């Protein structure tokens, strides 16, 4: 059973991607932990476009344009890691809002306890399976649970709008992690 099952066994939206990597599970997990999506121009471009409305609003209100940090992996909370096999990150809030409506989470306990009406929980997992001596299967899965019908009604259009780009970013993320793990295998 994948670790994500413990955090969001039921969900309304999801996406999965996988890639075989010519590296050990240890090298792959190290690459997962080192991965920074903001190094990818597509991710940066998508986030810039996604955040344009709130940044323009900030500008109109006289706020410093640079005061708002762009969304990245630092927004996620590490919920749990099982050695070099499984890792799950979480988010909670109203992701469809221009400012993401994110509620800060400290740990897994906060994730489980989060129950704010008209909100959602998101779990992002990386699962690693040894296939052979230097062959590993890397899978990523994102699950979103809307906590009520109001959240589901608000999140659905947002999901269908971002889903194609999100999927492309996930595929690029896996390739980048694979390349990093393979470079470390060559060291």
Q: What is the pLDDT of residues 137-153, one digit of tens each?
A: 999 999 999 999 999 99
pLDDT at position 41:
77
The low-confidence residues of the chain, meaning pLDDT below 70, are 46-59, 64-68, 70-72, 185-187
Q: Can you name the residues that pair with 49 across neighbouring β-strands? A: none
Using alpha carbons, list the distances in angstroms from residue 134 to 37, 97, 181, 185: 25, 43, 11, 9
Q: Yes or no: say if 16 and 155 are a contact pair by the CB < 8 Å rule.
A: no
Q: Yes or no: say if 182 and 20 are a contact pair by the CB < 8 Å rule.
A: no
pLDDT at position 62:
72
Interatomic CA distance for residues 17 and 35, integer angstroms: 16
pLDDT at position 70:
62
pLDDT at position 134:
85
pLDDT at position 98:
77
What are the domain boundaries of the chain? Answer: 4-182
Interatomic CA distance for residues 147 and 93, integer angstroms: 10
pTM (predicted TM-score):
0.87
pLDDT at position 157:
96
CATH class, domain 4-182, is: alpha beta
Interatomic CA distance for residues 86 and 82, integer angstroms: 5
pLDDT at position 57:
67
Interatomic CA distance for residues 54 and 100, integer angstroms: 10
φ, ψ at 2 (rounded to 5°) = -75, 145
């Amino acid at each position: 059973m994948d670790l994500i099952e413990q955090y969001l066994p039921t969900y309304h939206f999801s996406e999965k991607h996988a890639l075989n990597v010519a590296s050990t599970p240890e090298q792959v997990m190290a690459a997962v932990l080192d991965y920074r999506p903001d190094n990818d121009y597509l991710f940066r471009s998508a986030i810039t476009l996604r955040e344009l409305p709130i940044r323009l609003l900030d500008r109109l209100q006289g706020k410093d344009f640079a005061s708002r940090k762009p969304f990245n992996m630092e927004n996620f909370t590490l919920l749990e890691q099982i050695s070099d096999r499984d890792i799950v990150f979480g988010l909670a809030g109203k992701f469809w809002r221009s400012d993401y409506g994110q509620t800060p989470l400290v740990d897994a306990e906060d994730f489980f306890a989060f129950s704010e009406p008209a909100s959602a929980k998101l779990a992002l997992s990386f699962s690693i399976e040894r296939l052979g001596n230097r062959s590993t299967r890397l899978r990523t899965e994102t699950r979103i649970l809307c906590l009520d019908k109001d959240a589901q009604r608000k999140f659905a259009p947002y999901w269908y709008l971002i889903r194609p780009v999100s999927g492309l970013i996930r595929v690029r993320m896996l390739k980048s992690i694979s390349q990093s793990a393979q470079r470390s295998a060559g060291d």
